[in-house]
């Protein structure tokens, strides 16, 4: 399971010309389920995200988590995070979960974040989306359950 976490001051997602979700301070999370991923991995990733200490304390040190700051998240499904470019210039996606599995794991990941008490907004799985954000820092962190 792969996620790209961006610390934001605001983020929104638009589908068919209308904004369907938006947040202020927190994380924009791009999420991709890979073949063989499980609900347990989604829960592990959600726990990591909730406790990731990338928000600054009064001394400017990244010491606070999303849980500490009561920030929110906007989670966008993005199967292209699973791209394999090892055999040329056209990405392959055979390592990603099927759309059905991906949707289930996406929903489970988002539900788990909500269970931590985090306000969780979602994009629309399988749709073409327009995502806007203001990355603060910039702070961007790559998480992969296969790499710890």
Catalytic residue annotation: 78-80
Is residue 27 a contact partner of residue 10, using CB atoms and an 8 Å limit? Answer: no
Task: Tell me phi and psi for residue 49, to 5 degrees.
Answer: -60, -45
Instruction: Using alpha carbons, select from 113, 95, 110 the residue that is nearest to residue 37.
Output: 95
Tokens of 5: 């976490």
d(CA 84, CA 121): 28
End-to-end CA distance of the chain: 10
């Amino acid at each position: 399971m792969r996620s790209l976490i961006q610390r934001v001051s605001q983020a929104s997602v638009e589908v068919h010309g209308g904004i369907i979700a938006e947040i202020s301070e927190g994380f924009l999370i791009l999420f991709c389920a890979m073949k063989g991923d499980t609900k347990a991995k989604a829960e592990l990733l959600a726990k990591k995200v909730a406790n990731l200490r990338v928000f600054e304390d009064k001394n400017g040190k990244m010491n606070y988590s999303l849980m500490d700051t009561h920030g929110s998240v906007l989670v966008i499904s993005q199967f292209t995070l699973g791209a394999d470019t090892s055999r040329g210039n056209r990405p392959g996606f055979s390592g990603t979960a099927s759309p059905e599995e991906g949707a289930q794991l996406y929903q489970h990941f988002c539900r788990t974040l909500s269970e931590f008490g985090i306000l969780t907004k979602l994009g629309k799985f399988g749709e073409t989306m327009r995502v806007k954000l203001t990355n603060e820092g910039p702070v961007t962190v790559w998480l992969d359950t296969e790499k710890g």
